[in-house]
Amino acid sequence: MKSITINGSQRESVGKKATKALRNAGQVPCVLYGGDKPVHFAAPELAFSKLVYTPNAHTVVINLDNGETLNAVLQDIQFHPVTDRILHIDFYQLFEDKEIALNIPVNLVGNSRGVKNGGVLRRNNRKLRIKALPANLPDFIEIDITPLKIGDKVAVGDLPSDKYTFLHSDNTVVCQVRTSRVAVEDEEDEELEEGAEGTEGAAAPAAEGAEAPAAQE
């Protein structure tokens, strides 16, 4: 998984006055959990733009002014209800031998057969929560929707999960192709039906010919 580096300054004072002063100076108060004790630090608001304002998932490398470097993931973020400015961010520290739960975006590729025939693609879950070691965290979960016909769907149980575990039930629907007013029958299905009709038509004369001698007797 790709990572973003945040250069921060460790905070000694964590009171309301100190926090307000940081925000007035364009800094965002942050707390890193998961280690021996919480680590309080602050960084410029602009430093978080690539981390917060994106649909992608990232790990974070936090470089503190005391020379300490910590690996983490974004856990929670608070925005101002009016201005949407970042008020506070919580991080969770990563360890190589400890699994972490994280929401990973779903990336759909290909052109669905059902959509070509007028169906509608519905994305039920744009992100899926997984649990994995930091080294096994994917940038995204890719699903090829090319073979999906109208009425078909992809569930969590259909996805490979060798390096991580999905924190959803197997029947959780990720995406599906639903019918619409302009939908037409799949061409391949039509060919199969025509083949079946042709077989039945060919068999009929033979049956009639077999019954004819019996009638003459």
Cβ-contact 93, 30 below 8 angstroms: no
Predicted pLDDT at 210? 45
Mean per-residue pLDDT, 43-50: 94
Mean per-residue pLDDT of the chain: 87
Q: What architecture is the 3-94 domain classified under in CATH?
A: Beta Barrel (2.40)
Where in the sequence of the chain do the CATH 2.170.120.20 domains occur?
101-178
Sheet holding 165-166, edge to edge: 141-144, 100-109, 127-132, 165-166
Ranges of CATH 2.40.240.10 domains, the chain: 3-94
Looking at CATH, the fold of the domain delimited by 101-178 is given as RNA Polymerase Alpha Subunit; Chain A, domain 2 (2.170.120)
| Apex 40 CA angle, 39 and 43, nearest 5 | 120
Lowest mean pLDDT among 11-15, 26-30, 97-101, 194-198: 194-198
pLDDT tens track for 175-205 = 999 987 766 666 555 554 555 555 555 444 4
Q: Is the pLDDT of residue 121 over 80?
A: yes
